[in-house]
Amino acid sequence: MMAKIALTTLLLPFIGALLTACLPQRRARIVCTVFALLATLGTVALGWQFLAGGKVAETWTLVSYHGVALFGFTVDRISTLIVFAVVFLGLLVSLYSTGYLTTGNREHPHDGGNRYYAFLLIFIGAMAGLVLSSTLLGQLLFFEITGGCSWALIGYYQTPKSQRSAMKALLITHVASLGLYLAAATLFLNTGTFALSALSQLSGSASYIVYGGILFAAWGKSAQLPLQAWLPDAMEAPTPVSAYLHAASMVKVGV
């Protein structure tokens, strides 16, 4: 049951993003908020099932190749807490966006378009996938998706400055993600799996490479030295984006 709830929670934002991109602009904000709410309810149901099951951590493999787990879910104390936090904050930001991105905003009169709400939903889904993933390969996939969404949302206003800031954020966080590529490759070569649980099997230089790669990726996302330069310029994004991606969620991926 928990695996189905986790998969539904992950897929809902992506389905909502597809619908948001296809529907008329006036419906985009409603669809975004509804699907963010449904995903939030999914995280609540996941936490409730975990509690009812005696708080026993479980892992399910959804995609494998020749017996090697490529993607799956891990539901434990940490993932159930953080997935609720990031998705619920996404719901709050969606609600705030419906009031902020309007022509009635005296400082930034602009009606939020389908592109904004679609990428916001994709980001919510990617954060959920990143938190729930049971493999380093799955985390790498969603890590890159969050970087792409950040690029799209920072450059949302399409001004020269915002586009430069978006590209700067994309390049720096992508350089940081190279640490995850190195970590995933090293983990597989030494253990024959991408499962996060296999980290405990590492020793010697392999453990330093894997943990160093993960830390390097975390430094990039959380804007720590020497990869902090993208964050100040990222404030060119609409205020709800800064509140979610750069204050409440993406920058906290490193934690």
**What residue numbers bound the domain in which 119 lies?**
2-252
Cα gap 221→25, rounded to integer Å: 31
Residue 248 has pLDDT above 70, yes or no: no
pTM of the model: 0.92
Question: For the chain, where are the alpha helices, taking DSSP H only?
Answer: 2-22, 25-52, 77-100, 114-132, 136-154, 160-191, 204-221, 230-233, 239-243
Residue 155 has pLDDT above 70, yes or no: yes
What does the pLDDT read at residue 245?
79
What does the pLDDT read at residue 204?
87
3-state secondary structure of 12: helix
What does the pLDDT read at residue 249?
72
Residue 106 phi, psi (nearest 5): -70, -30
Diameter of the chain by CA atoms? 60
What does the pLDDT read at residue 141?
93
Residue-wise pLDDT for 91-144, tens only, equals 999 999 988 888 888 877 887 788 999 999 999 999 999 999 999 999 999 989
What average pLDDT score do residues 217-222 get? 85
Terminal C-alpha separation, the chain: 28
Residue-wise pLDDT for 165-182, tens only, equals 999 989 998 898 999 999
What average pLDDT score do residues 187-198 get? 91
Domains contained in the chain, number: 1
What average pLDDT score do residues 80-90 get? 92
Residue 196 has pLDDT above 70, yes or no: yes
